[in-house]
Amino acid sequence: MAKKRKKKKRKVIFHLDLDAFFASVEMANNPEYKKVPLIVGGRTKKAVVSTCNYLARSFGIKAGMPIFKALELCPQATVLNANYELYEQYSDDFIKIIKKTFCRKCEQISIDECFLDVTKLIKKDMLPIKLAKIIQQTIFKKLKITVSIGISYNKFLAKMASDWHKPCGITVINKKDVEKKIWSLPINKMYFVGKATAIAMHELGIKTIGDLAKYENFKLLEAIFGSAWFDYYLNAHGFGDDFVSTNNSPPKSLSIQFTLPSQASNIQELEEWLKYLSQQLSQKTQFHGVFGHVVYVYLKCANRRMITKQISIKEPTDRYDIIYQHASFLLNEHYQRSENVRLIGIGLGKLTTKPCIRQRTIF
Ligand code: TTP
Ligand code: MG
């Protein structure tokens, strides 16, 4: 008799996203801020909102909005300059708590988000929602910050779910929910679909995730979006990657980017950002125990022009000064001085786990 093939069990993937992160850190440090609409951004004329607490959001204030406009909506709001070092500290603590207390299968994907593969933690007396509640309580007890949690069987759906009920929500998306919950969402709400991709989809008449799922001209999708089209299409049908990578598998490249609190067209200001990002990238690289052969810098300008430049370096590095030196060279070579920059990013590519011996030598 033919053996019955065992059905592969679906994984249980959590996506954790801290609520109003920068503003929440400020409120955790100064409870007075809980009582007021709070904006984190800059104080210059061109500054925009980096984030704001949920009280400020109730006035219609949103991330990316010019501060002056936010203050028109809510003149009594308190505006703070961002304190990035403090936010990085909270971010590190968040990940440490998760890894130490709950689950080592943790993949951090941004300053305030991570995926967890909790499949092995789920038991009869520890169902996903119960575990999610315990995680929320623990994070709040230790950091005084709330976290929203999305639960599903792959990373795409877990990420979509965490956005569903915020702040402090827990949302489960099962296979049967995909049509009901996901298909009606506008295409720009789809994880991985950036602004430019969403515009291109609109031109094809794809306005919702459901439109994409039902789209039949695959050749056209491939011609426009390259090989990425297939992932978008699979995701729209509820399929997707469920592998949560841990530190055991070193990344192929690492990068850090930031949408600037206000547009910058001043090279000194951009240099300052590069310095900050080089430090963060160096720390991230050291955390993963890897060394990069290529430094790259990318800038997104206000007119949507994307500048991406890279340079190979002789010895693979994880050092701040070397990363910054090369990034600064790229900036000075390729940045046209009058252009307004909205987003700046820096990365290390061709990563290896083996450092060059010479690099470690102390002179
Ligand atoms: P998000 O998680 O996108 O936003 P949030 O945590 O403020 O709000 P939500 O409750 O909706 O999750 O980003 C995390 C932090 O990163 C955010 O507090 C501010 C910062 N940030 C920027 O400064 N620029 C950006 O472009 C983005 C996306 C985030
Ligand atoms: Mg967040």
- The yes-or-no answer on residue 85 being catalytic is no
User: Which range scores top for mean pLDDT: 50-54, 191-195, 197-201, 221-225?
Assistant: 50-54
**Are residue 258 and residue 331 in the same domain, yes or no?**
yes
pLDDT digit string, tens, across residues 123-163: 999 999 999 999 999 999 999 999 999 999 999 999 999 99
249 found inside a domain = no
6 found inside a domain = no
**Are residue 208 and residue 279 in the same domain, yes or no?**
no
Domain enclosing residue 202, as ranges = 177-236
Asked whether 23 and 51 are in contact (CB, 8 A), the reply is yes
**Are residue 158 and residue 182 in the same domain, yes or no?**
no
The average pLDDT across 23-42 equals 95
17 Cβ below 6 A of ligand 1: yes
5 found inside a domain = no
b/e for 51-71, b at 16 or more Cβ within 10 A? bbbbbbbeeebebebbbeebb
On the question of a cis peptide bond just before residue 37, with omega within 30 degrees of 0, the verdict is no
- Minimum CA distance residue for ligand 1 atom 25: 259
Ligand nearest to the CA of 80: 1
**Are residue 77 and residue 89 in the same domain, yes or no?**
no
**Are residue 269 and residue 336 in the same domain, yes or no?**
yes
> Does residue 20 surpass a pLDDT of 90?
yes
243 found inside a domain = no
8 found inside a domain = no
**Are residue 168 and residue 220 in the same domain, yes or no?**
no
The band of 360, judged by pLDDT with boundaries at 50, 70 and 90, is: very low
**Are residue 61 and residue 36 in the same domain, yes or no?**
yes
**Domain of residue 120, CATH code:** 3.30.70.270
**Domain of residue 37, CATH code:** 3.40.1170.60
**Domain of residue 297, CATH code:** 3.30.1490.100
> Does residue 172 surpass a pLDDT of 80?
yes
Residues 6+ apart with CB under 8 A from 100: none
Of 29, 60, 83, the position where a domain reaches its end is 83
pLDDT digit string, tens, across residues 57-86: 999 999 889 999 999 999 999 999 888 889
- Minimum CA distance residue for ligand 1 atom 29: 50
> Does residue 322 surpass a pLDDT of 80?
yes
153 Cβ below 6 A of ligand 1: no
**Are residue 111 and residue 127 in the same domain, yes or no?**
yes
**Are residue 188 and residue 223 in the same domain, yes or no?**
yes
C-alpha neighbours within 13 Å on the C-beta side of residue 17:
20
Positive or negative torsion for Cα 108, 113, 117, 120: positive
**Are residue 299 and residue 231 in the same domain, yes or no?**
no
Ligand nearest to the CA of 53: 1
133 found inside a domain = yes
Choosing from 85, 88, 113, 222, the catalytic residue is 113
Query: Which atom of ligand 1 is nearest to 50's Cα?
Result: 23
**Are residue 259 and residue 301 in the same domain, yes or no?**
yes
22 Cβ below 6 A of ligand 1: yes
Residue 363 is predicted with a pLDDT of 26
Domain count, the chain: 4
136 alpha carbon – ligand 2 mean position (Å): 14
C-alpha neighbours within 13 Å on the C-beta side of residue 45:
0
1 found inside a domain = no
Using CA atoms, how far residue 286 sits from 65, 195, 290, in Å, is 35, 32, 6
Q: Between these two residues, 248 and 335, which has the higher pLDDT value?
A: 335
The band of 88, judged by pLDDT with boundaries at 50, 70 and 90, is: confident
**Are residue 225 and residue 302 in the same domain, yes or no?**
no
Of 83, 101, 131, the position where a domain reaches its end is 83
> Does residue 356 surpass a pLDDT of 80?
no
Token pair recorded at residue 111:
């300053």
Which stretch of 128-137, 193-202, 234-243 has the lowest confidence by average pLDDT?
Answer: 193-202
**Domain of residue 209, CATH code:** 1.10.150.20
36 found inside a domain = yes
C-alpha neighbours within 13 Å on the C-beta side of residue 84:
15
Of 58, 83, 108, the position where a domain reaches its end is 83
Residue 2 is predicted with a pLDDT of 54
